[in-house]
Structure 1
Amino acid sequence: LRGSVADFCAGWGYVAAEVAARSPGISALDLYEADFDALEAAKGNIGNTAAEPKFFWIDLLSEPVERRYDAIAMNPPFHRSRAAEPEIGVGMIRTAVKALKPGGRLFMVANRQLPYEPVLAAAFSSHAEIARDGMFKVFAARR
């Protein structure tokens, strides 16, 4: 990945750390997370990056994203407590498309059973499933 990149629903920073390690062309790396303790853990888990990471403690479903990105990576939650709520992921997809620059790309990890394909098709100019295993699928989409 190149340019300005965000990790939405960053948790403890795993996805952002992997993106940073594999993408020396990143000029900005922003992590967004609603859980304060998880975001604090992410600060300690991001290693050396080409860009100084910035951390945002906000709920992306209810607070606006001020910046625009060339790429967003995310593994959004899909439950509250024990109840499955795929609407959380749907909301995150809609937030991501608004935060991407024209032509920007979304990379999203999801559990296989979650039906995000129709939402991706409606929100993005193109999308594809680029990886899958027994539990997860990974999508790439372009605004």
Structure 2
Amino acid sequence: MRTFDLTPFYRSTVGFDRLFSLLDQAPGESATGYPPYNIERTGENAFRISVAVSGFSQNEISIVAKENTLTIKGEKVANENSAGKSEVLYRGIASRAFERQFQLADFVQVKSASLENGLLHVDLVREIPEAKKPRNIPIGTSAPALQNQVEKAAA
């Protein structure tokens, strides 16, 4: 059984950041854990999901981001050219269809995807809208309260 301990990431989040807990839950996973994947933090607001998809080509993999769900599907296309030439005696390289779903936190968008050396890399970025970003509120003195103090002192 493969589990990932995301406890170190929880230390850097304060109660309201659900990204890692949502990614950790990952509904729709098969019991076998196929295909294996990694989740990395590549920057303050940047993340990468790497999925091992050896044997799959770009046209056999689809990536769909809908609302807060990222779905990665792979379906092997039968190769008619090699069917007549050879017979597989042992199949150790998995080529079965798969579907992985990841729940994304609010404001997390898919930036790009690339396939290299049998790994599918999906880069994510959290882009918080300007209206939702924290603002510094200046602390000033209240003019009416100061005026009342001056009047009381004069009386």
Instruction: Tell me the TM-score normalized by structure 2.
Output: 0.27
Question: Which structure carries more strand by proportion?
Answer: 1
Considering Cα pairs closer than 8 Å and 6+ residues apart, tell me whether 1 or 2 has the greater RCO: 2
Question: Which structure carries more helix by proportion?
Answer: 1
- For the pair shown, the structure with the greater C-alpha radius of gyration is 2
Instruction: Tell me the TM-score normalized by structure 1.
Output: 0.28
